[in-house]
Amino acid sequence: GQSLEQPSEVTAVEGAIVQINCTYQTSGFYGLSWYQQHDGGAPTFLSYNALDGLEETGRFSSFLSRSDSYGYLLLQELQMKDSASYFCAVLGNQGGKLIFGQGTELSVKP
């Protein structure tokens, strides 16, 4: 089966940097995705890592270590609008099934 673990909530201040970790257990692994969901909104795709290393997209970066079954999402220069839930997700070996973690609620304070 597959399971993902991420912290349930994180709090940070505007302008700061925050890292949201995700560890996973899966019998087949293709890559790790990250999604953002604002309250009342739809999950939206942020990034995907299939290979080890850091991928940067503006203020957001995502990292993967396949040997450690671990990844993280790094958010820099935090803004109030970054307050949302962040989900890591893995593609399992059962073809087309994206499995989500339970989400990390990020609160950005002034």
Partner 1 sequence: DTAVSQTPKYLVTQMGNDKSIKCEQNLGHDTMYWYKQDSKKFLKIMFSYNNKELIINETVPNRFSPKSPDKAHLNLHINSLELGDSAVYFCASSHRPDSEKLFFGSGTQLSVL
Closer residue to partner 1 (CB): 66 or 105: 105
Give me the least distance between CB of 42 and partner 1, in Å please.
4
Closer residue to partner 1 (CB): 8 or 79: 8
Burial label for 13, CB within 10 Å (0-12, 13-18, 19+), is: exposed
Burial 54-84 (b: 16+ CB within 10 A, else e): eeeeeebbbbbeeeebebbbebeebeeebbb
**What are the residues binding partner 1 (CB under 8 A)?**
30-31, 33, 37, 41-45, 48, 50, 85, 87, 89, 91, 94-100, 102-103, 105
Tokens of 91: 């593609």
Cα 56 versus chain centre, distance: 13
Give me the least distance between CB of 15 and partner 1, in Å please.
27
Closer residue to partner 1 (CB): 96 or 110: 96
Closer residue to partner 1 (CB): 19 or 92: 92
